[in-house]
Amino acid sequence: MKEKLEALKVEALAKLQEVMDPQVLNDLRVKYLGKKGELTEVLRGMGGLSAEERPVIGQVANQVRSAIEEIIGAKQETFQQQETQQRLQAEKVDVTLPGRRMQQGGVHPLSRVVQEIEDIFIGMGYRVAEGPEVETDYYNFEALNLPKNHPARDMQDSFYLTDDLLMRTQTSPVQIRTMQAMNGEVPVKIICPGKVFRRDDDDATHSFQFHQIEGLVIGSNIRMSDLKGTLQQFVQEMFGPNTDIRLRPSFFPFTEPSVEVDVSCFKCGGDGCRLCKQSGWLEILGAGMVHPNVLKMGGYDPAKYSGFAFGMGVERIAMLKYGIDDIRHFYNNDMSFVKQFKGV
């Protein structure tokens, strides 16, 4: 048996010395040292040896195993070093090449206008309130003084998901949700920014999705003059200190009385130009005193409290502020358009 072990050692070392491939090395390791390998097969015959021969043969077997493992380990280390060198060579970076300048992004004009409007109203003591974009018919219409089958609903063609769920057509539902959450406490001073959805055909001034910011104030003795003063301060901070406002009677189901709000053209100073179509005024938002029915739905006694509300389209403000002639520019992901506002 000793001669078999010595012969196995000579054979294994000779073959392992010639190995040039990691897979072949692994195959030889299994062949000689595996559970069914040749060394194991030889050692199975130790059961027939005498007590004196077993330690001697065992020592020889350990020497054979150690010699084979040693050369296998040396070969594996060599292969690993070669692989590392090849990888380093393949992944080598030429540090003399000029660097690639990272493109610096900018704030989208709509986001910029939303942030600016929020900053103005937060400075006046308002807080920002948000709500779901998928709304119930109750919050989107009924609680805003638009009962089912009311003809005023035709003003807002909607995307219905079910008979009771739709994509909100305005951010006004946030006002009702806030009023109910306040449990009749005053004052209420919020603005509600967010996306809204209506079934409009896309053109230069319309989109099926756009952004609104609405405001709501409720308290004791809130008057139309408070609304006018608030909007006057807003437009002067937004468009310049010389901007004036004009209120024109209008109709909204959730306010009474209701007004359309125009600002004096900040490009021509009211003298008349292409932007204001020679009128000297630009229409920017709608507003009015909160309808008593809406106060009731929100949990407030209209005999005790009053309030005003207003709503503006962010795209409309941005188009006027930056001289943009097509609302679709905001959504076409045209980098030549967006880059114009970097650093504005």
Q: Which residues carry a binding-site annotation for Mg(2+)?
A: 256
Instruction: Residue 271: count other Cβ atoms within 10 Å of its Cβ.
Output: 11
Q: Give the residue numbers of the binding site.
A: 256
Whole-Å CA distances, 14 to 34, 70, 252: 18, 13, 97
Instruction: Give the span between the Cα atoms of 176 and 189, in whole angstroms.
Output: 13
45: which DSSP letter? G
How far is Cα of residue 341 from the mean position of the Cα atoms in its chain?
Answer: 20
What residues does 194 pair with on adjacent strands? 212
Tally of CA atoms within 13 A in the half-sphere of 297 that contains its CB: 22
Q: Are 285 and 308 in contact (CB under 8 A)?
A: no
The residues near 215 (Cβ < 8 Å, ≥ 6 apart) are: 121, 126, 190, 191, 192, 230, 309, 310, 311
Matching residue, tokens 């807002």: 156
Nearest one of 108, 314, 123, 115 to 234, comparing CA atoms: 123
- In this structure, the chain runs to a length of 344
Q: Are 313 and 211 in contact (CB under 8 A)?
A: yes
What amino acid occupies position 135?
A: E
Instruction: Give the span between the Cα atoms of 262 and 249, in whole angstroms.
Output: 11
Task: Write phi, then psi, for 294 (nearest 5 degrees).
Answer: -70, -40
Instruction: Give the span between the Cα atoms of 327 and 313, in whole angstroms.
Output: 11
Joined tokens for residue 276? 């204001």
Peptide bond into 292 cis (omega under 30): no
Instruction: Give the span between the Cα atoms of 256 and 273, in whole angstroms.
Output: 33
